Chains A and B, each alone.
Chain A
Amino acid sequence: QVNLLQSRAALVKPGASVKLSCKASGYTFTDYYIHWVKQSHGKSLEWIGYINPNSGYTNYNEKFKSKATLTVDKSTNTAYMELSRLTSEDSATYYCTRRRGPFFDYWGQGVMVTVSS
């Protein structure tokens, strides 16, 4: 069965960076784009961007272009998102999700990032 396993929660200092991982299993990794979504506490869902695991092509929400960098490692079926220059506004739960057509059919369990000194 399809599974997206995300890395553990992270506590990071303001100004630092963090790299989140999303390991896919149960399907052919290169057949589906991986997207990332932010959910601030108690709030709705914001689309960050996606990566094509086959080509490495990325597309970002303008709002996150200078914040997030998406990469993949095809050898381990893992997608990564690095968030840089962290502030309290970046404290949130981040999800990786697989896109099928115009919707997202499988989601990771989410990883909570807390930015605090």
Chain B
Amino acid sequence: EIVLTQSPTTMAASPGEKVTLTCRASSSVSYMHWYQQRSGASPKLWIYETSKLASGVPNRFSGSGSGTSYSLTINSMETEDAATYYCQQGSSYPPTFGAGTKLELK
């Protein structure tokens, strides 16, 4: 199965700061998808097919990457962005998720 490695594991950002989360795959994948999970809530689709924002996602978020290296960027951190973000690949079975990056507000 394809292993997804996210970094950093945890980070803190100040309001207005630019944030970049990364996800590396053990084999090449066609796309990467990202989910946001707030404490006590279910995951929400956040970015799909590498760079498309899910409905309702603010445009300060963006996604990029190809092959084995992908990233999620927040242009300017806001309070509501504090959450855990998971990457996921669906290119081959089984679908797999990264261990997550917990993003905290500084």
**Which residues of A line the B interface, CB within 8 A?**
35, 43-47, 59, 61-62, 95, 97, 99, 101-110
B91 in the interface, Cβ–Cβ < 8 Å?
yes
Interface size on B, residues (CB 8 A): 24
Q: Determine which residue in B44, B45, B93, B100 has the highest number of CB atoms from chain A within 10 A of its CB, and name it.
A: B45
**Across-interface contacts of B99 in A (CB, < 8 A):** 43-44
B95 in the interface, Cβ–Cβ < 8 Å?
yes
On whether the beta carbons of A45 and B49 are closer than 8 Å, the reply is no
Query: CA separation between A101 and B90, bound complex, in Å?
Result: 8
On whether the beta carbons of A47 and B86 are closer than 8 Å, the reply is no
Q: A44-B97, A59-B93 are in contact. Are A103 and B88 (CB under 8 A)?
A: yes
The 10 closest A-B pairs by CB, nearest first: A102-B90, A103-B33, A45-B97, A107-B42, A44-B99, A103-B48, A47-B95, A61-B94, A110-B42, A47-B94
